[in-house]
Chain A
Amino acid sequence: MIATEKDITPAQWKRRSVLSFAVFILFLLLCFAGWNWLKKQPTEAGAIKPLRTVLNTNENIFYSLFNPGRLAQTYPKQFAVPRVRVNGDAGLGTDFDASTWRLKLIKAPGDTLFISLDEIKKLPKTDVIFDFKCIEGWSQVTHWSGVKFSDFVKHYGLDAQMALRFTGMETPDGEYYVGLDNKSMLQPQTILCYEMNGAALPLNQGFPLRLIIPVKYGVKHLKRIGTIAFSDDRPRDYWYERGYDYYCGL
């Protein structure tokens, strides 16, 4: 069993083991001190600063590795649940007037389009049946239809905007808002959605128009889109401000 046996005086042994234990205890103390140091660091957008820095690095890594050709798993229609879970109502105030709703598309400062739901419905329709994933950890196979964002981009001539890094979306009341990288926006499963299970979106699912973006957690699937704008800097993001990862890419 023993490869290297050797004789050693008790004093030598004592010196050796005391040294080893000193290093060991120092290591444990450093771990403990490091943890306490981390906990005391200031936060940036709700996350401890050093952790936020790594999350942003993770974003850069996974953003550069992102392959829009890799699709989220899709399912046949009969797999979609009839009762779709409703998890959030931020930005869905009760005094919403659907008759006056227009999608506000800010192409550039001073160049804004107001688009009605009927105009959006005239664009080619795409169905997406996928496993919707909430950041909380649950998932549900759900069926959505609308216009592919890449088709929307083509129709409204948004190529220059797509050359920027981000798309920002907000609810009409500005209470809920998300920022999304444009590689994910152009992924072929990303849709501006107006139907769920083949019927008009319910109010609590974001009627008249919501975002469905299968390569992101549910927090990014903004309900009731009011405004769409573009920028190279990160648009503001509701859950990012509350300590979550900005990217949330799946």
Chain B
Amino acid sequence: MKKIAKKHSLAIRWFHWVNFPILLVMIWSGLLIYWANDVYRIGWGKTTILKFFPDSFYKALHVPFRLAEGMSLHFVFMWLFAINGLLYFLYLLFSKEYKLIFPNRHSLKEGWLVLLHDLHLRKGLPPQKKYNAAQRLAYTGVIVMGFLMLLTGLAIYKPAQLNFLCSILGGYEWARAEHFIITLLFVLFFFVHIIQVIIAGWNNFQSMITGFDVLPAPDKTTEISVPDQSPVSNS
């Protein structure tokens, strides 16, 4: 016999995997749009450490001169991104699964301990439920980022009709920069997520598809050794 345990509900798995291609199209089309005014960089004065993005990067991905295509994709898939994200959020609330994901008062401190553990600077993890504290922070973080994505996106999509929203985000240019920075954070999240999934191994990955964790088989040697214990040492 195999022992399995329910880990991810069907709804969570669908929301997760549906979001993946949608987010991919949103980031790709966003890049096509961004190219037309690619002003962001890391640097000061005339010194640039990193330009977003280098010409070689655009060239390799065939990005240049596709603004119209990018906008048409972006303003179609935005609906799917928003709907899937909102349904996911509502599902978390109504199923009470948010209790497993939203951080609690220990999460900040424990999240730090998890980070130290993952960087091999500390042994042992704090006790956890479905997700450890770092996961809670990260997974709640992407939900917040998703909302910010919608808000900053709306602010630059309809800056006059949503003048108020646009101003509280710091104005049109800031809203655009925020939209861009959150995209970078999404990409960063994506890479860390992939690395963590690879490190966590097959059983963890397959649970996002099957919904179940396969629990380790009971250790046969200890099972056998238990009745074998004779009171020899008492003599």
Cβ–Cβ < 8 Å partners of B4 in chain A:
5-8, 13
For chain B, the count of residues having a C-beta within 8 Å of the partner chain is 46
A250, B161: Cβ atoms closer than 8 Å: yes
Cβ–Cβ < 8 Å partners of B212 in chain A:
16-17
Interface: A215 (CB within 8 A) = yes
B159, A250: Cβ atoms closer than 8 Å: yes
Interface: B71 (CB within 8 A) = yes
Cβ–Cβ < 8 Å partners of B206 in chain A:
17, 21
Given the known A-B contacts A71-B160, A134-B37, are A2 and B5 also in contact in the complex, defined by CB atoms under 8 Å?
yes
Given the known A-B contacts A5-B3, A7-B1, A73-B171, are A24 and B159 also in contact in the complex, defined by CB atoms under 8 Å?
no
B129, A1: Cβ atoms closer than 8 Å: yes
Cβ–Cβ < 8 Å partners of B211 in chain A:
20
A250, B72: Cβ atoms closer than 8 Å: no
Residue of B nearest to A34 (CB): B21
A54, B75: Cβ atoms closer than 8 Å: yes
CB distance from A133 to the nearest CB of B (A): 7
A136 to B67, CA, bound (A): 8
A72 to B3, CA, bound (A): 62
B72, A245: Cβ atoms closer than 8 Å: yes
Interface: A235 (CB within 8 A) = no
CB distance from B121 to the nearest CB of A (A): 25
B34, A133: Cβ atoms closer than 8 Å: no
Interface: A51 (CB within 8 A) = yes
Question: Could you mark each residue 55-77 of chain A with 1 if its beta carbon is under 8 Å from any beta carbon of chain B, else 0?
Answer: 10010001001110011110000
Residues of A within 8 A of B (CB): 1-10, 13, 16-17, 20-21, 24, 27, 31, 35, 46-48, 50-52, 54-55, 58, 62, 65-67, 70-73, 131, 133-139, 214-215, 239, 242-245, 249-250
Residues of B within 8 A of A (CB): 1-6, 17, 21, 25, 33-34, 36-37, 39, 67-69, 71-73, 75-76, 79, 128-130, 158-163, 166-167, 171-173, 176, 206, 209-215
